[in-house]
Amino acid sequence: MVMEVKKNPNINKGAAVLSVIFILLFFLLIGRFFYIQVTKKIEGEYLEELAEDKWTKTQIIDANRGTIYDRTGQPLAQDIPAYTVYAVLDENYPNHVKDPNDTAEKLAKVLGGSKEKFKQILEQDRFQVEFGSSGRKITHSQKEAIEKLKLPGIGFIREKKRFYPDQVFASHILGFTNTNTEKEIEEGVMGLEQSLNKHLSEQNGSVTFQSDRKGIILPDEEAAITEPKNGKDVYLTLDEKIQLFLETALKKADEQYKPERMIGIVADPTTGQILGMSSYPSFDPNQRNITDYTNYGVSWAFEPGSTMKVFTLAAAIEAGVYNGNEQFQSGSYNKIPNTKPIQDHNYGRGWGTITFNEGIQNSSNVAISILVNEKLGVDRYYEYIEKFGLREKTGIDLPGEQNSTILDKWPRDKVTTGFGQGSIITPIQQVQAFTAVANGGKMMQPYVIDKIVDPVTGDAVKESKPTVKGEPISKETAQEVRDILRTVVTDGTGTLFEIEGYDVAGKTGTAQIAENGKYLTGKGNYVYSFLGLAPKDKPELIVYVAVDRPHLEPYEVDSTVTSQIFTYVMKNSLQYLNIKPNEKNKTSNTAQKSLGIELKNYQGKSVQSAKKELISQGFKVEIIGDGKEIINQIPFSGTKILDGERIILTSNGKMTMPDLTNWSIADVMKAASALDVKVSLIGSGYATKQSIAPGQFVKKEDYLVVELETPNPNDLEPHVSIQTDEPVVKD
Give me the active site residues, please. Answer: 306
CB 654 within 8 A of CB 626: yes
Question: CA torsion 238→239→240→242, rounded to 10°?
Answer: -110
Q: 100-111 and 140-149 helices cross at what angle (nearest 10)?
A: 150
Q: 475-491 and 427-438 helices cross at what angle (nearest 10)?
A: 110
Rounded to the nearest 5 degrees, what angle is found at the Cα of 362, between the Cα atoms of 358 and 364? 95
Q: Which residues have CB under 8 Å from 90's CB, separation 6+?
A: 96, 126, 127, 128
DSSP code at position 139:
-
Q: Which residues have CB under 8 Å from 161's CB, separation 6+?
A: 79, 80, 81, 82, 137
Q: Establish whether the linkage from the previous residue to 535 is cis, with ω within 30° of 0.
A: yes
Q: Which residues have CB under 8 Å from 382's CB, separation 6+?
A: 406, 408, 414
- Beta strands in 286-345, from DSSP E residues, in sequence order: 327-329, 332-333, 342-343
CB 352 within 8 A of CB 382: no
Question: Dihedrals φ, ψ of 296, to 5°?
Answer: -65, -25
In sequence order, the β-bridge partners of residue 78 are: 163
Tell me how far apart the alpha carbons of residues 464 and 447 are, in angstroms, rounded to a whole number: 8
- Beta strands in 284-362, from DSSP E residues, in sequence order: 327-329, 332-333, 342-343, 353-355
- Beta strands in 33-107, from DSSP E residues, in sequence order: 41-42, 45-46, 56-61, 68-69, 75-88
Centre a 10 Å sphere on the Cβ of residue 163 and count the other Cβ atoms it contains: 16
Instruction: Work out whether strand 75-88 and strand 154-163 pair parallel, antiparallel, or are unpaired.
Output: antiparallel
